[in-house]
Structure 1
Amino acid sequence: MRSLKWKLYLGAALVGMFICLLVVIFQIFTLLASVVGGSEETTPSNLPPAMVSEAVLQYQDVFLEAMKEYGVSEEYLPVLLAMCMQESGGQGNDVMQSSESKSGQIGTITTPKESIFQGVKYFASLIESAELSGPSDEDRLKVVVQSYNFGGGFIGYADSHGGKYTPALALGFSQMMAMKMGWNKYGDPLYIEHVWRYLQTSTDGDAGVSGAGEFKIPVINPVITSGFGPRWGTNHRGIDFGQPISTPIGASQAGTVEFASFGQSGSGFGGFGNCVLVNHHNGYWTLYAHMSVIKTSVGQNVKVGQIIGEVGSTGDSTGPHLHLEIRTEKMGGQVDPYPFLYPS
């Protein structure tokens, strides 16, 4: 009898061990499947990555936390980062300019996290009001994003005019509200254009650089508005090309991007606005300053002519232009770019 009981106990133990082994094997296969297949599931958005400054990117985790809190899909992260870039460039406390949506007054938000949470909460309410199915419905998404600037009333206005966003619709609403309020202007009727410029669809475009020099001229139809040397009682350390806003800027030589952000005071790039520094690994660096949009990121290897940004007037600038420097040191050693661009 004892022998039989012992055999039964042993058999039950073996069966239990076998079941546990099957459970462990199943969990391992499930984990492997999630790792192998996870790359497709983590990028469901049709929106391209947001090409924004490091000052904005530092808040990405805060955005994700707020989006989880208010039930906003991670698919919307690129557009929210682009909105933050347009609202503040990641500078100051109210980085999403969301005080008015919270209290009806400007300046009532005192921390970036509070601003982001309020901005995402308001964005979530606009998604619900517009019955937006997802970012793939770009026309309706633009209605929501424009409403972030105009207020939720724009959704009803859009619904009464076909339901889709158009620039003419935004301008009409802005003019109607300005007249109603007795103001000179109402909101930013170009808000969509200003936000969408940070949603880069390609970083491999060619800016059409030209020239026979060691370094290529980084813009098409170049017009030099200021040369290297003494200027206004100071020493101008580069060449300025007067260009329309949004003119593509190409890399003058192949290299690696070492800085791509808004030049804050004390960073060594203060006054340059949105700027990019490229190391060409031959003893030279090039700096491209005052961009409206940065279209590259630190660590990226760029080819000659590859678009790295667009002409603007950010930072200490009196008008749209590209300030180009050629340096023999990362943080200095500027030399006259002219002989490198226009060899005699």
Structure 2
Amino acid sequence: MVKRICKILLKLGLLILIVGAVYLGFRNYMILKDVHQYDDEIATAAKKYDVDDQTDLISAIIFTETKGRHEDLMQSSESRYGEAGQISSEADSIDAGVAFLAEALKAADEAGCNESTAIQAYNFGLDYIDYVAKNGGKNTKKIAESYSRDVLSPQLGNDQQSKYRYWGLHSLLYNGGYLYHNGGNLFYSEIVQWNQWKIEMTKFLF
């Protein structure tokens, strides 16, 4: 009897895993499809700002920020206009976002920092590059957390360094799932690079 119940539970668990995998695969496919509709605009902006080799990274940022389902695709209003809600078209968002990313990539390279630092700076701001340069030149979750906790969060009003729950695989594995209020997303670079891998591995579908 016990053996039979175990077999049933095993089959049920396997079925749940299969259904979950199919759902996640379909969900990711639909997001990728939405992101890829902006390939031409991405290529144009990448060429304009001399980052032609970073189109997959740009697509990954769109995937991460809005999944291709918002006018401000790259959430770049603040980087260009100093405040949110000023972007009124997808093309303007891509142009502004790629311009800022190109600036971050150049600044990171000049400071002797890795590309992951530039990607994280897209979320934290360009001052993060100097912070990383003074702490080894390589973005890590530990450095990103210290910047989020000790610099960015207090700078934006969270003097108590309070946290909130953040349910994501990267965060759950690292600290049980939390971020600091007003402290950006310390897992940003890791998430973007994971989404970039998805884009690179599925190009044949689009």
Instruction: Pick the TM interval, shorter chain.
Output: 0.5 to 0.7
Change (3 A) 1:198 1:151: same
Aligned residue identity for 1:110:
S
**Which protein shows a greater Rg?**
1
**Are positions 1:167 and 2:141 aligned together?**
yes
Aligned to 1:236: none
**Are positions 1:198 and 2:177 aligned together?**
no
**Are positions 1:127 and 2:105 aligned together?**
yes
Q: Which runs of 5+ in 2 are unaligned?
A: 1-28, 159-180
Listed as ranges, the matches of 1:39-118 within 5 Å are 53-72=32-51, 74-118=52-96
Listed as ranges, the matches of 1:261-300 within 5 Å are 296=202
Q: Deviations over 1:177-231 (max 9, x none)?
A: 212332233111010121122133799xxxxxxxxxxxxxxxxxxxxxxxxxxxx
C-alpha displacement at 1:296, in angstroms?
A: 4.9
Distance 2:126 2:205 in 1: 40
- TM-score normalised to structure 2 length: 0.68
C-alpha displacement at 1:86, in angstroms?
A: 0.2
* Paired residue secondary structure (1:53): helix
Aligned residue identity for 1:178:
S
* Higher fraction of strand: 1
Q: Identity rate of aligned residues, in percent?
A: 30
Q: Deviations over 1:145-172 (max 9, x none)?
A: 0000000000000011011111111111
Residue from 138, 150, 154 that aligns with 1:179 = 154
Change (3 A) 1:156 1:88: same
Distance 2:128 2:72 in 1: 23
Aligned residue identity for 1:100:
E
Distance 1:79 1:93 in 2: 19
Q: Is the 8 A contact 2:119 2:189 kept in 1?
A: yes
Change (3 A) 1:201 1:182: closer
Which structure has more relative contact order (CA 8 Å, sep 6+)? It is 2
C-alpha displacement at 1:126, in angstroms?
A: 1.1
**Two-structure CA RMSD over aligned residues (Å):** 2.8
- TM-score normalised to structure 1 length: 0.42
Aligned residue identity for 1:196:
Q
* Paired residue secondary structure (1:68): helix
Distance 1:54 1:99 in 2: 24
Q: Deviations over 1:233-253 (max 9, x none)?
A: xxxxxxxxxxxxxxxxxxxxx
Distance 2:196 2:94 in 1: 19
Q: Is the 8 A contact 2:60 2:199 kept in 1?
A: no
Distance 1:87 1:175 in 2: 22
Distance 1:172 1:154 in 2: 11
Q: Is the 8 A contact 1:175 1:185 kept in 2?
A: no
Distance 1:171 1:186 in 2: 9
Counting matched residue pairs gives 155
Q: Is the 8 A contact 2:87 2:93 kept in 1?
A: yes
Q: Which runs of 5+ in 1 are unaligned?
A: 1-50, 204-294, 301-344
